[in-house]
Amino acid sequence: MSKAFTKEIDTDEDDELPEARLPAGGKNYMTPQGYARLRAELKHLLDEERPRVVETVAWAASNGDRSENGDYLYGKKRLREIDRRIRFLTRRLERAEVVDPSVHHGKDQVFFGATVTFARADGSEETVTILGIDEADSARGQVSWISPVAQALLKAREGDEVRLRTPAGVETLEIVQVRYPAPGDAGATTERAA
């Protein structure tokens, strides 16, 4: 099909994936380590990657016919992706509320940044760390503070039982242990607890 009959859509609608959306009017809680990672990514995009791609696009444009110039077409597409990510990161960092979980070190109540071990009714145990939307990684035992399991656990204490609503029905979880990183223990909230 001729390129003349296709339409390339470049909108801001896909700046945020549905699973990455913040609650309406909500804050974007994140740990100091998560905030630093997002800032470092933004700085890298602005100071290194975007200028390099702009240089490539300018060089490719100087070569003449742009309609069949792969370097030019790919460069323009990559530039749009970079700009979209820059807008996304800028908005996220503007709304960020940095919370240091180590201020709760030694406490047994579940707050943002806690690593919580809980037991299910069948006796199995699971450990999760409650982090920000942009830093949680379920493969590493990290859940977002807006996830159903985190919402069920928040504000409960060791020994409490909480109710988690799942598609299969209501499940009772018993909180076995609550841990926080020690003050000055950098990166502890991002590592999965053993």
The type of residue at 121 is A
Domain hosting residue 145, numbered range = 101-179
Residue 78 within a domain: yes
- Among residues 145, 189, 182, the alpha carbon closest in space to that of 36 is found at 189
CATH number of residue 128's parent domain? 3.10.50.30
Question: Do 105 and 153 share a domain, yes or no?
Answer: yes
Question: Do 74 and 138 share a domain, yes or no?
Answer: no
Q: What is the pTM of this model?
A: 0.76
Question: Do 105 and 171 share a domain, yes or no?
Answer: yes
8 Å CB contact between 35 and 118: no
How many structural domains is the chain composed of?
2
Higher pLDDT, 68 or 74: 74
Q: Which of 98, 119, 143 is the last residue of a domain?
A: 98
Question: Do 66 and 82 share a domain, yes or no?
Answer: yes
Phi, psi of 40 (to 5 degrees): -65, -40
pLDDT at residue 190, rounded to an integer? 44
Question: Do 48 and 66 share a domain, yes or no?
Answer: yes
Residue 65 within a domain: yes
Residue 115 within a domain: yes
The type of residue at 137 is D
Question: Do 175 and 106 share a domain, yes or no?
Answer: yes
pLDDT tens digits along 11-47:
444 444 444 677 666 778 999 999 999 999 999 999 9
Query: Cα separation of 189 and 101, whole Å?
Result: 8
pLDDT tens digits along 115-169:
999 999 898 999 999 999 999 999 999 999 999 999 999 999 999 999 999 898 9
Q: Which of 82, 98, 114 is the last residue of a domain?
A: 98
